[in-house]
């Protein structure tokens, strides 16, 4: 099973709302990633978790708060977002960090901030 | 800093024909990996093929093959016998392979490929 699942598929939220995006994998991977992708652009790395510990935060605003409750789950908590945060949010996982392990992507959550 | 350049924003090909997508990259490292990812309109990013920099032999996966020119820092993707399902955005990506690399993927801007019947 090489599947990464993400919920919800679509999310519309106001700037004062709090919501969470969820990502799950059951491949035994120990590295998980959050990316942000704007239309017709490549994904931009936001966070990297390795062994449930945050190892990279690419200077992402604090209104995005990642959480890795266990090795299979990755959450992204959203609060007080701006309209420019509207994008496709992709989760990915790999056996381990390091280039020799390819990343498997989920289908993404399409987020619209109104 | 590493960069990945895809110089063809859009391409089209007739069904059953062959098409080549270009990618160049810049790095001072000697040990790295290169990937081609495909993102169809349904949006899920799928790994197409990968190449280890230390391997001289070009990677192949069924109808997909690469032309890896390490000295020229070039990594093109050839799709043979194009199918309608190959219609997608194709991203070239680079990552280093050392202990602290964290697997960061550096993506090119993408090439939108349309396969026409």
Confidence (pLDDT) at A100: 65
Residues of B in contact with A99 (CB under 8 A): 32-33, 95-97, 101, 103
User: Taking the CA of residue B35 as centre, how many other CA atoms within 13 Å lie in the half-sphere pointing to its CB?
Assistant: 24
**pLDDT category of residue B113 using cuts at 50, 70 and 90:** very high
Put simply, the answer to whether A50 touches B98 (Cβ < 8 Å) is no
A49 Cβ contact partners less than 8 Å away, ≥ 6 residues apart: A31, A32, A33, A55, A66, A68, A74
Which chain B residue lies closest to A93 (C-alpha atoms)?
B103
Residue A53 DSSP label: E
Cα separation, A77 vs A18, in Å, equals: 7
Cα separation, B90 vs A42, in Å, equals: 10
Q: Beta strands of chain A (E only): which ranges?
A: 4-7, 10-13, 18-25, 31-37, 44-50, 53-57, 64-70, 73-79, 87-94, 104-105, 109-113
Put simply, the answer to whether B47 touches A104 (Cβ < 8 Å) is yes
Lowest mean pLDDT among A78-82, A98-102, B30-34, B83-87: A98-102
C-beta of residue A58 within 8 angstroms of C-beta of residue A44: yes
Q: What is the pLDDT of residues B58-102, one digit of tens each?
A: 999 999 999 999 999 999 999 999 999 999 999 999 987 655 545
């Amino acid at each position: 099973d090489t599947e990464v699942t993400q919920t919800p598929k679509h999310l519309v939220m106001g700037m004062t709302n709090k919501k969470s995006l969820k990502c799950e994998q059951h491949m035994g991977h120990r590295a998980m990633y959050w990316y942000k992708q704007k239309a017709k652009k490549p994904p931009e790395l936001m966070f990297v978790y390795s062994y449930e510990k945050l190892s990279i935060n690419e200077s992402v605003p604090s209104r995005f708060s990642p959480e890795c409750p266990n090795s299979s789950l990755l959450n992204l908590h959203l609060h007080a977002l701006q309209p420019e945060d509207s994008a496709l949010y992709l989760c990915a996982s790999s056996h381990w960090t390091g280039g020799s392990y390819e990343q498997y992507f989920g289908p993404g959550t399409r987020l619209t901030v109104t | 800093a590493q960069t990945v350049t895809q110089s063809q924003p859009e391409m089209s090909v007739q069904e059953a024909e062959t098409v080549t997508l270009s990618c160049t990259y810049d790095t001072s490292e000697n040990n790295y990996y290169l990937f081609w990812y495909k993102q169809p309109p349904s949006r899920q990013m799928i790994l197409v093929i990968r190449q280890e920099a230390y391997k001289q032999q070009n990677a192949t996966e069924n109808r997909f093959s690469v032309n890896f020119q390490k000295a020229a820092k070039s990594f093109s993707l050839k799709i043979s016998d194009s199918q309608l399902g190959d219609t997608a955005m194709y991203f070239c990506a680079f990552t280093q392979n050392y202990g602290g690399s964290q697997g960061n993927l550096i993506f090119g801007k993408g090439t939108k490929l349309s396969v026409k019947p």
